[in-house]
Structures are given as C-alpha cells and as structure tokens.
Amino acid sequence: MSVQSPDRPAIGSADAPPAVPIYRALLPDADALLPYLRIIDANRHYANRGELVRRLETRLRERIAAPGCAVLTAASGTAALQAAILAQTGRADPARPFALIAGYTFVATAMAAEACGYIPVFVDIDPATWAIDPAALRQHDRLARTGIVLAVAPYGRPHDQQAWADFATSTGVPVVIDAAASFEALMQNPATLTGTVPVVLSFHATKAFATGEGGAVIWSDIEGLKRCARAMNFGFLYSRESRAAGFNGKMSEYHAAIGLAALDGWDATAAASARLAARYRAIAMRAGLGDRLILAPEIASNYALFRADSRSVALASCACLETEAIEHRFWYGPGLHREPYFAAHRPAALPVTEACAAALLGIPVFPDIDEPAIERIIAALARTAP
Ligand SMILES: *Cc1c(COP(=O)(O)O)cnc(C)c1O
C-alpha cells in the first residue's frame, strides 16, 4: 500500500505516472516563523509555558473555545489525552480498571488509556456518525467497572458535547472526547462543541492545523485544566512538590511559534482548503462519484475519503490506485480491536466498526495537490466503483 512498494515502476522513472502521496504537510515557512523565533532568542525561555505558549493558548481560546472554556497546549495529542484522563479520574484502580473506547479511531486513543493504567475495552460505533452512541453506551455491561470513556470524533466530524455531558452526569462515569482532527469543526462551532467534557486536539503535522507535534485540551473546568497542566509537568503545580501522577507533556516555545504563525495565516489556509474541496467534489461529480467522496467541511480538510459499497469494492479500488502509484490508506486500520497488539486482549467482534474500517478508504488530499493528480485519483476510482 506504500508508494515505495517494490512491484511498481520506480518513482520518477520516465514512463511511470508521478506518485501521489496520501498527504504532504505544508507548515508555516522560515520567514513566517522568524519574528517568533526572535522573541524566543530575546526571552531565552524555551520550554515550561513561556510567552509564546501562553500567547498561543489565548489566541486559540478566542477562536475554538466556548465562552468560559480555556485552552491548554500539550506536546502532542496523545499527551493531551493522557493529561485529560489523569485530570478526570487519575490512574486506573482495581475497582474501575476499564476504559471504554471507540473501536473506530487511531491507535493513540487506546495507547493513552493504557499509559494511564486502563484496560481498553473497545465499543462498536453507530453507522451514521462513525462514533459511539452515548445512549447505547449506558447499557454497556462493563460500565460499573469503567474509570473513563474515550469518545472519538472520527476524521474531525463534529461530536455531540451535550450528549456526552448528559452521559457523564447520569452515569457518573467521566468522559474525554478525542477530537484530534477537529480544529476546523471547533472553529465553525466552538459554542456547542466545547464545554464541560474535555475535548482533545492534535496539532500533528498531518492535521489541518499543525505545529509539527502538538496538541491541546479545551475545557470549561479551569481546575480540571490545572490538573491537566500538573499531569503534563511531573505532578508539579506552582511548586516543586510532585502531588499526582504525571509525565512530561508540555509544548515547547518552538512549537508554539509554529502555531502562532499558522494562526496568522489561518484565514488564507481555510479559504484555500475550501476551494480545494469544492474542486475535488466537482471532479468527482463529473465522474458520477459525487456521493462516494467525503470531503471538507463534512470531515477535516486533511482527509478525503472514498466510501466503497463493500470490502471487495474497496480492495478493487486499492488495486487500481496502486497501479497508478496513488498512495491510499485505511486511516484507522481494521478497527483498533483488530490491531495485533490490542487483539491480544481477545476483544469482542465489532461489526459496524469493521464495516466502516473496510469501506472508508483514505485517498490523497493536501494543500498543494494539483488538479491532474485529482483527475487521476477520480479516474482510478471510477474504474472500480459499480
Ligand atoms: C492524530 C490523532 C491522534 C494522535 O495525535 P498525536 O498528536 O499524533 O499524538 C489521536 N487520535 C486521533 C483520532 C487522531 O487522529
């Protein structure tokens, strides 16, 4: 599935079509970073919540948080997830050893729970939202021994903050929402997507808003955010006494510089990605694939998904893309419960997760993908779609 697979003409050889990568990140360039790097030079404050981290948090709060919520940055989305879990309920204990986790997500969600001592229990998703249905989860047979629920906003699709808040209130089981790719959804609708349930973002290079590595927690519980900050700083808060489980999860000033430069250019970035998605959609419609392609704003702009009818159509599409040297990816693998590492827990079958995982094929989209590449991708898919 990789563009480097040996059974394909060498990339760049005269008669082979140029390879199209699944993603090619484009972060702020050196000129855009320079004013911020000068601030770092002047401050000589490189880590531990310097001026740039604090400025980034303030500017993010103005754009992606509901009134009353605050933003705390992190070294990665995974670090932000771990911090939010520790802030919500601390490490696992024998009475509540389980974390209920959506089966359809990136492995980081379950890795974060495991790092906090929880045993992941994977939960099937709703076919319409590709996410756990909070109403159905109330009946889960492990709920009484569950320490934390990790809900996921797959591909940055908007989540239901209110429904998860109601779930947490009525069951007493705390929730963290892994909305790693949801920066754009939050920009559109901060008031309904953030609130009493902590929302975690990733700013990894492959996400629409990126700092290279980075992440954040957005939450209305300011004391809770302090516990997140404590978790990400070795259990220290306002003193050198370690008072809770922790690790090093802090964002550096250099990463904050990238975030500030990315925010400076955000309106232009957003306009360009909206134009790109519209163009992609138009090309797909012309090929009769309009209803097969899922693009921004339905999902985050760093993803384009081809919805196949079935596993066999998806595999035929993979083969066609493969011969065209077009990289493609099942972003969430076969479902987390089927990853070899987690399969060792002998998890239950998750039929909806498995069906989504097999039918939703990631295809290339990135800021400077050109139109001939999009035409080739759609032509290859049109050959396999019934
Ligand atoms: C990207 C992503 C993560 C991981 O974020 P990192 O910043 O790479 O740690 C977690 N969950 C989901 C759903 C993601 O898409």
For 220-248, the pLDDT digits (tens) are 999 999 999 999 999 999 999 999 999 99
Nearest partner of 47 among 250, 262, 258, 232, judged by Cα: 250
Q: Whose CA is nearest to atom 2 of ligand 1?
A: 180
Q: pLDDT value at position 79?
A: 98
Q: pLDDT value at position 2?
A: 40
Length of the chain in terms of residues written: 386
Q: Give the C-alpha separation, 54 to 70, whole Å.
A: 11
Q: Give the C-alpha separation, 314 to 312, whole Å.
A: 5
Q: pLDDT value at position 5?
A: 46
For 54-74, the pLDDT digits (tens) are 999 999 999 999 999 999 999
Cα R_g (the chain), whole angstroms: 21
For 324-371, the pLDDT digits (tens) are 999 999 999 999 999 999 988 777 889 999 999 999 999 999 999 999
Q: Give the C-alpha separation, 52 to 254, whole Å.
A: 8
Q: pLDDT value at position 348?
A: 85
Pick out the chain residues at pLDDT < 50: 1-6, 9
**Enclosing H/E stretch for 114:** helix 108-115
Q: Whose CA is nearest to atom 14 of ligand 1?
A: 180
Q: pLDDT value at position 385?
A: 64
Q: Residue 105: CB within 6 Å of ligand 1? A: yes
Q: pLDDT value at position 343?
A: 87
Residue 211 — φ and ψ, nearest 5°? -120, 20
Q: Which atom of ligand 1 is nearest to the CA of 78?
A: 9
Compute how many other C-beta atoms are within 10 angstroms of the C-beta atom of residue 2: 12
Q: pLDDT value at position 270?
A: 98
Q: pLDDT value at position 4?
A: 44
Q: Residue 76: CB within 6 Å of ligand 1? A: yes
Q: Give the C-alpha separation, 139 to 77, whole Å.
A: 29
Q: Is 361 helix (H, G, I), strand (E, B) or coil?
A: strand
Q: pLDDT value at position 14?
A: 61
